[in-house]
Each structure stands twice: as C-alpha cells, then as structure tokens.
Amino acid sequence: MNKITQSLGTGVLFLLIVLSASCKKSALGDDPQDPSTPYKLSYGDSILYLKSGGANIVYPTVHRDGIYTGFPEGIEIDELTGAINLENSESGLRYRITHVSTKGDTTTTMVVLSGITFKDHFYYLSAGDSIALPIYNSSESRVLPLSGSTFDEGNVANGGGCSVRTDNGKINLKETIRNGVFGFPPRNDAQQTFEIKYRINDNSGKSLNKLKVLLYWYNTLADVPQYVWDILNERTAQGVFLRNNILAPGEGVLTGRPAKPRPPCVIIIAN
C-alpha cells in the first residue's frame, strides 16, 4: 500500500467516524437542521425575568415550524415563533407552553414569569387568619428577596384602603377592613380590586412590576355565592393555579370555560 492510498483510507475512516457521531447526536437530541429529530421545547430557563430597558421578548432556544400556545390566559405568545412578550403578560404565574408541529406532534414545557401573586384562599378572621402573604415565582417554597425590594410603589393600594406592607408585600386584611373598603358595616358579597406596583431585588434588576388583587367579604362561608365557587372550581379543575384546596359544593356546575388566573381571589370570611 503506497502513502497516497494509505492517506485516502485514513481520511475515509475519519469521515465515517464523524458522520456516525453526527447521526447519533441527531437521534438523541434536538437538531434544528433536521426537523425529523425530537423537539425539546425550551426557553433556556424555567424562570423568565422582566428587565428594565432590556429585551423583554424571549424566544425558544430552538425554533420549529408549527403553532405555539400558552395556558392559562395572561401570557402573550406569538403562535408562529413562540416568542413571549414579558411586558404584556401577567407575571408571577406559571404557564404551560405547547408546540404542535406541522405533522401534529405535541411537546410542552413550563415557564414561570417572575413576580409575586396571592393564592385563591379563604381567610377566616375569627380564627386569626388575617394576613395575605405574597407568593414569589409561583411557589410557596421560594423565598421572596426583601432586601432592596419595595411594594405598593406610588401608594396606590394603600391610598385606596388596602393595607399593604411596603417592605414585604403582605396585606393586612383586618386593617383593610378597618379602613372601610367594604363599607361600615361590611356587606355580604362586597368586592374591591386593588393594583399593587412593586420592584423585587432579583434578576429582574428591580424592574417595575404589578398585579391586581380581588378582595371579597362574606359574613359566613354559607354566604359565598355560587358564581365564586364556580371560579374556584374552574381554576382547580384546570390544575395550574395556586389555590386553597377547599372544593366547591357538589351542586356546583362548571361552565367549561378557560379559567383566568388573575386577579387572585382573597376571600375574607368573618365567622
């Protein structure tokens, strides 16, 4: 065998090794150049942060043709590119992003749009349950960074009677009632919605964020009307909302409409 033949043989062998490795890689993971490989839908991180003056449009790490959708309502997503507009979406919530390929294949991923929310909950004043706690990044186990953070910027909620601690975001429900937001005396099925603007000292760089909270008042649990139970039932059935684990009465009938995550329902029960 001469040197030229030996060199050609070595080159062919090297090419075969490279092609083999490439085929194995495509078979095992997502290859944007080969739509026949499995699609791993990802946005690079499970938590997406709104940033001041930054690019608040987040794209999938790999694009595939097809349709992208988000659930529940509240997230703005481009159905063709999968791009999420953080500025125009409800933050503090977990969303399920679904991609359906042109062949009908479906893949999903979960993302959290960073921020705070409050869970749907019954607060019993007679039992001393009178503080609504903010939940950070859609998980009760995550610690809300307080140092350098501020809540109720502009004093909008407090100015309207909703007693929000500006250093930790907690809502004092007893104080809110004393402020007269439900009237004197509070009347059954009285409701008030408050907007809370806030900045969190995290990867958002203290970007201005906001949410709305809906407060209800009832004398007893029996006074809670069916339409409120229906809201809670719909959210419970769809399984992506923070809730209080109290199910509605058996006679409740669900409408089957997509449940909206906002505003969270803070339901105050006197006795």
What's residue 158's pLDDT?
98
Q: Does residue 82 have a pLDDT over 80?
A: yes
Predicted confidence band at 253 (pLDDT cuts at 50, 70, 90)? very low
Q: Could you report the per-residue pLDDT of 193-248, keeping only the tens digit for each? A: 999 999 999 999 999 999 999 999 999 999 999 999 988 888 776 655 554 444 44
Q: Are residues 128 and 249 in the same domain?
A: yes
234 and 188 in a common domain: yes
The structural domain count of the chain equals: 2
DSSP single-letter state for residue 65: S
Average pLDDT, the chain: 85
pLDDT on residue 262 = 80
Position 87 in a domain? yes
Domain shared by 63 and 153, yes or no: no
Residue 18 lies in a domain: no
E runs forming strands in 125-201: 131-132, 135-136, 150-151, 171-172, 190-199
Residue 148 lies in a domain: yes
Do 243 and 124 sit in the same domain of this protein?
A: yes
Beta strands in 65-156 (DSSP E): 66-71, 76-77, 84-85, 93-101, 106-113, 116-117, 121-124, 131-132, 135-136, 150-151
181 lies in a domain? yes
Closest CA to 213 of 237, 238, 194, 231: 194
Residue range of the domain that includes 52 = 47-113
Q: Residue 143 has what DSSP assignment?
A: P
165 and 209 together in one domain = yes
Indicate if 148 and 73 belong to the same structural domain. no
Q: Residue 147, Cβ neighbours under 10 Å: how many?
A: 6
pLDDT confidence of 19, banded at 50, 70, 90?
very low
> Which pLDDT tens digit goes with each residue over 155-189?
999 999 999 999 999 999 999 999 999 999 999 99
Sign of the C-alpha dihedral computed for residues 71, 137, 161 and 124 taken in this order: positive
Question: Are residue 124 and residue 108 in the same domain, yes or no?
Answer: no
Q: How far apart are CA 77 and CA 232, in angstroms?
A: 25
Assigned domain for 26 exists:
no
Q: Which of 262, 251, 271 is CA-nearest to residue 117?
A: 262
